[in-house]
Amino acid sequence: MFSIGQLSKQTGVKVPTIRYYEQVGLLVSAGRTEGNQRRYDKGGLERLGFIRHARDLGFSIEAITALIDLQQHPDRSCQEATLIAQHQLTDVREKLLRLKALEAELVRIADGCDGEGNSEECYVLASLADHQHCRGEH
Amino acid sequence: MFSIGQLSKQTGVKVPTIRYYEQVGLLVSAGRTEGNQRRYDKGGLERLGFIRHARDLGFSIEAITALIDLQQHPDRSCQEATLIAQHQLTDVREKLLRLKALEAELVRIADGCDGEGNSEECYVLASLADHQHCRGEH
DNA sequence: TCTACAACCTCTAGTCACTAGAGCTTCAAG
DNA sequence: CTTGAAGCTCTAGTGACTAGAGGTTGTAGA
């Protein structure tokens, strides 16, 4: 049996975050000692590890709730889980595209200026004021 | 002179967002009609355009406040603005690296499963439960 | 067995950058 | 002069935590 602090150390999830996960129903309520402190078993450790991993991969709490739900119903098709993962992948790819475009423009802006001179003629500020220079959307 | 709605249409920034920007001091308080409605001139339009562009590039409100501050003090060196932009670029590049790693793992997870069978043997769920398979950090 | 104190508990409020809604007033076209 | 879209303020909600206050419990050492 682990205390919440031990669980935290083993998973790398902060103590208040564990309590928060329980509060929003992501983690089933832990058993308690007579003095009302939470105690976890190996199962609890594994569930939190799952959540941690999924959160690290950017899955929303909502998506993780759905995945855990699927785990608890082994009769249900795996297709749903795959759909959630693929949706997440699409999401990540969209963000990647956006970020790449931003990087390009920031390079243009940040490197276009030698850092000398005063801000009246600053290239950074001029670039931000004038959207015209931008290639592509945002 | 523009109303807040016209300003919104021209810049693509939603009306409540414009009011929010004013509230947090990002946009100087607009002049008002006798009936207390905001009226903007060309300067206001340009300032909001600047903010919009910077937000699109992911600059925080705090960073934008600093940039606007620099604009208002043309005697100050441009170096500070360049620093802010470079900091933002570093940030974007870090996010890019992280996202690329996530993409790789999501491909592994989402494509490793044919979507058939039940969730007991689902590769997505197994992968999320078991961190061991992961290459690299997260 | 006692004591000290780290770790636990609950609850509320704060973070960021908005967004939504209630309930009211003003502006402008017909 | 009427109508209704657009404006106003204020409060509260979003997601995923994080921080702090103020009180209680568990446990290691004396």
Model confidence at B136: pLDDT above 70: no
CA distance B131 to A51: 11
Cβ(A80)–Cβ(A88) under 8 Å? no
What is the structure's pLDDT at B105? 85
The single residue listed with the structure tokens 């423009």 is A105
CB contact under 8 A, B96 and A96: yes
- Strand A38-39 to strand A31-32: parallel, antiparallel, or no bridges (unpaired)? antiparallel
Asked if B97 is an interface residue toward chain A (Cβ–Cβ < 8 A), one would say no
In terms of domains, do B70 and B2 share one?
A: yes
Domain that holds residue A99: 79-133
What is the structure's pLDDT at B133? 65
Partners of residue B77 in chain A, C-beta under 8 Å: 115-119
In terms of domains, do A36 and A93 share one?
A: no
- Report the nucleotide nearest the CA of residue B64, measured to C1': C17
- Report the nucleotide nearest the CA of residue A55, measured to C1': D16
Partners of residue B46 in chain A, C-beta under 8 Å: 129
Q: Measured between CA atoms, how close is A83 to chain B, in angstroms? A: 8
What is the structure's pLDDT at A20? 96
In terms of domains, do B36 and B61 share one?
A: yes
Instruction: Tell me which residues of chain B, numbers 16 to 55, contact chain A at a CB-CB cutoff of 8 Å.
Output: 46, 49-50, 53-54
In terms of domains, do B45 and B70 share one?
A: yes
What is the structure's pLDDT at B78? 81
**Residue A108 pLDDT class (50, 70, 90 cuts):** confident
Q: Measured between CA atoms, how close is A64 to chain B, in angstroms? A: 10
- Exposure on the CB side of residue B108, measured as CA atoms within 13 A: 14
How high does pLDDT run on average in chain B?
Answer: 86
In terms of domains, do B65 and B86 share one?
A: no
In terms of domains, do B72 and B135 share one?
A: no
In terms of domains, do B117 and B132 share one?
A: yes
CB contact under 8 A, A95 and B100: no
Percent of chain B residues past pLDDT 90, beyond the cut: 43
Model confidence at B135: pLDDT above 60: no
CA distance B95 to A26: 26
What is the structure's pLDDT at A99? 86
CA distance B68 to B49: 12
Alpha helices (H) in B33-78, listed in sequence order: 42-56, 61-71
Q: How many CB pairs under 8 A join A and B?
A: 171
In terms of domains, do B8 and B54 share one?
A: yes
What is the structure's pLDDT at A115? 61
Partners of residue B100 in chain A, C-beta under 8 Å: 96
Angle at B20 between CA B71 and CA B96, to 5 degrees: 70
**Amino acid type, B98:** R
Q: Which among A66, A54, A60, A45 has a CA at the least distance from the CA of A3?
A: A45
Residue A138 within a domain: no
What is the CATH classification number for the domain harbouring B57? 1.10.1660.10
**B15 token code pair:** 């009306």
What's the first-to-final CA gap in chain B, in angstroms? Answer: 52
CA distance A96 to A100: 6
H or E element at residue A96: helix A79-111
How high does pLDDT run on average in chain A?
Answer: 86
Model confidence at A123: pLDDT above 80: yes
Model confidence at B76: pLDDT above 80: no
**Residue A119 pLDDT class (50, 70, 90 cuts):** low
In terms of domains, do B58 and B115 share one?
A: no
CB contact under 8 A, A99 and B99: yes
Model confidence at A75: pLDDT above 90: no
Percent of chain A residues past pLDDT 70, beyond the cut: 87
What is the structure's pLDDT at A118? 61
CA distance B102 to A49: 17
Tens digits of residue pLDDT in A35-74? 999 999 999 999 999 999 999 888 999 999 988 988 888 7
In terms of domains, do B134 and B91 share one?
A: yes
Tens digits of residue pLDDT in B78-131? 888 888 889 889 988 988 888 898 888 888 888 777 666 666 678 888 888 877
What is the structure's pLDDT at A70? 86
- Domain end call among A46, A71, A96: A71
Tens digits of residue pLDDT in A4-32? 999 999 999 999 999 999 999 999 999 99
Q: Between the CA of B50 and the C1' of C27, what is the distance in angstroms?
A: 29
What is the structure's pLDDT at B118? 63
| Helix, strand, coil share of chain B (percent; to 5) | 65, 5, 30
- Domain end call among B76, B99, B115: B76
Number of domains in chain A: 2
